[in-house]
Chains A and B, each alone.
Chain A
């Protein structure tokens, strides 16, 4: 395997007494799409935020292109951040800005592009996610959930990042719109030749957008492998999760009725 784009070694993160990540080991190759699955509250979002640099891990190493990023200064952090695009779970669109201004935010504010040129790019990116130019002048609150997700995707790819993160890209969408988003994600990632890391608990989405899947359980990645092998992982935890069974080795923290 070529030297990994993203490499995590022994990443730990705790909030007070609650140990969320307990030694994450993960390599993602350039151009690969890695999907991390796991139940609610298992630390998927925390893992993503640690890689992104929105949270600082307590210990361990996170390397992007071989560069250690766990303890960067804010200036170096901004430089590394330039490689990233992120699709947030709720979209996280700026509600005070129009749709095109949202998509053009990175190019204008961070890269100093002229607004007229950035607007052209924004319209083109909106087109790439199947939205017409007339959408550009609306405000995010005027859009449906699926459209907001697409705008957020357009914003995530506007600066043509090398690495794109997807936080629960299909949560809260109907199955058809979820599949539309999945298709768009596959298309955008392959068009850009980007590396992708997604977290989800939607197995249909995971199978569609991932090359490899890893399962997060009790702060560790307990299984990793190609998508094709997930059905014969031989791991009881993985089997229980992908078939969505309440009975199995994973016990939910609920009292018996």
Chain B
């Protein structure tokens, strides 16, 4: 124990602040480049397929089991107060406000954020990013901006689909296991649902889409030193995106619902 605790703490704080600074300037540069042409439409479409379409199975599975377990868990709770009729509403509000965007965000962070960091990181260490520059193509515009745009556009759609599938999961458990009337279940779901419940979830989704792709691109773009560097970039991309999702989730919720 030759290094005093204070020194370690100080170093960690400095490293933390430095990384906030470099992520911010990366994000700023990405947004600035994203606002000026050219836009690589084909790249954007490809990333939308990659982030959106190919994430559907994993997000759908997450959503349906989440909806099912929500219905089951809230039943065991609410039955004690004979308040079973609140279950459809609890399921849909928890899904649209919280679980849809957060769980979809975390799943996509694991699937897409990691892949992005690995792909861009490999391009970095094999000089493909330098090669882009020598071919007069801005790597920010060609690699980073299409991914950010695709993330911001795609995540809300994914979350909307997750909301619907999640409600379906709750409906299946409610009707076939807990003996709800199917029409009553759906009516209870829709009657108490407010526009803001869904809308706040979709805003979260767009923000999460930005955070996931930003972390994937940032860690890939700044990776150094061969296979090990790319591996570290992949891990950092997933961990930092997940933490940012949970942090921003709280603050967006507060902005929407704190009175």
Within 30-82 of A, Cβ neighbours of B (below 8 Å) are at 49, 52-54, 74, 78, 81-82
Residues of A within 8 A of B135 (CB): 105-106, 109-110, 155, 159
Q: How far is the CA of A95 from the CA of B123 in the complex (A)?
A: 9
28 CB-based A-B contacts, threshold 8 Å: A52-B133, A53-B133, A74-B138, A78-B136, A81-B134, A82-B136, A84-B134, A86-B130, A86-B131, A86-B134, A88-B130, A90-B126, A92-B126, A92-B128, A92-B130, A92-B131, A94-B123, A94-B128, A105-B135, A105-B137, A106-B135, A106-B136, A109-B40, A109-B142, A110-B135, A110-B136, A110-B137, A159-B135
Chain B residues touching A, range = 10 to 19
Q: How far is the CA of A86 from the CA of B136 in the complex (A)?
A: 11
Instruction: Report which of B127, B136, B142 forms a contact with A90, defined as CB distance below 8 A.
Output: B127
Within the complex, what minimum Cβ distance (angstroms) separates B89 from chain A?
47
**When the two chains form their complex, are residues B131 and A94 in contact, meaning their CB atoms are under 8 A apart?**
yes
Residues of A within 8 A of B136 (CB): 78, 81-82, 106, 110-111
A85 at interface, CB cutoff 8 A: yes
Residues of A within 8 A of B131 (CB): 86, 88, 92-94
Contact A54:B128 (CB < 8 A) given known A74-B138, A78-B138? no
Residues of B within 8 A of A105 (CB): 135, 137
Q: How far is the CA of A93 from the CA of B122 in the complex (A)?
A: 12
Residues of B within 8 A of A49 (CB): 130
Residues of B within 8 A of A111 (CB): 136
- Interface membership of chain B positions 137-159, coded 1 if the CB is closer than 8 angstroms to chain A and 0 otherwise: 11000100000000000000000
Within the complex, what minimum Cβ distance (angstroms) separates A198 from chain B?
15
Q: How far is the CA of A85 from the CA of B135 in the complex (A)?
A: 7
Within the complex, what minimum Cβ distance (angstroms) separates B118 from chain A?
12
Q: How far is the CA of A84 from the CA of B123 in the complex (A)?
A: 20
Within the complex, what minimum Cβ distance (angstroms) separates B250 from chain A?
37
Q: How far is the CA of A81 from the CA of B138 in the complex (A)?
A: 11
Other A-B contacts than A86-B134, A93-B131, A94-B128, 20 sampled, CB-CB below 8 A, are: A49-B130, A74-B138, A81-B133, A85-B134, A86-B130, A86-B131, A88-B131, A90-B126, A90-B127, A92-B126, A92-B127, A94-B123, A105-B135, A106-B135, A106-B136, A109-B142, A110-B137, A111-B136, A155-B135, A159-B135
Q: How far is the CA of A106 from the CA of B133 in the complex (A)?
A: 10
A89 at interface, CB cutoff 8 A: yes
Residues of B within 8 A of A106 (CB): 135-137
**When the two chains form their complex, are residues A54 and B138 in contact, meaning their CB atoms are under 8 A apart?**
no
Residues of B within 8 A of A93 (CB): 128, 131
**When the two chains form their complex, are residues A54 and B142 in contact, meaning their CB atoms are under 8 A apart?**
no
Determine which residue in B128, B134, B135, B138 has the highest number of CB atoms from chain A within 10 A of its CB, and name it.
Answer: B135
Q: How far is the CA of A105 from the CA of B42 in the complex (A)?
A: 14
Residues of A within 8 A of B128 (CB): 92-95
Residues of A within 8 A of B123 (CB): 94
Residues of B within 8 A of A85 (CB): 134
Q: How far is the CA of A86 from the CA of B127 in the complex (A)?
A: 11
Residues of A within 8 A of B127 (CB): 88-90, 92
Residues of B within 8 A of A82 (CB): 136
Q: Which residue of chain B is the closest to A107 with respect to CB atoms?
A: B135
Within the complex, what minimum Cβ distance (angstroms) separates B47 from chain A?
12
Q: How far is the CA of A159 from the CA of B135 in the complex (A)?
A: 9
Q: Which residue of chain B is the closest to A158 with respect to CB atoms?
A: B135
Residues of B within 8 A of A78 (CB): 136, 138
Q: How far is the CA of A110 from the CA of B40 in the complex (A)?
A: 11
Within 42-85 of B, Cβ neighbours of A (below 8 Å) are at none
Q: How far is the CA of A94 from the CA of B136 in the complex (A)?
A: 15
Q: How far is the CA of A90 from the CA of B131 in the complex (A)?
A: 11
Q: Which residue of chain B is the closest to A81 with respect to CB atoms?
A: B136
Q: How far is the CA of A155 from the CA of B134 in the complex (A)?
A: 11
Q: How far is the CA of A111 from the CA of B136 in the complex (A)?
A: 9
Within the complex, what minimum Cβ distance (angstroms) separates A107 from chain B?
9
Q: Which 5 residue pairs are nearest across A and B when measured between Cβ atoms? A: A110-B136, A92-B131, A92-B127, A86-B134, A106-B135
Residues of B within 8 A of A109 (CB): 40, 135, 137, 142
Within the complex, what minimum Cβ distance (angstroms) separates A102 from chain B?
9
Residues of A within 8 A of B137 (CB): 105-106, 109-110
Residues of A within 8 A of B134 (CB): 52, 54, 81, 84-86
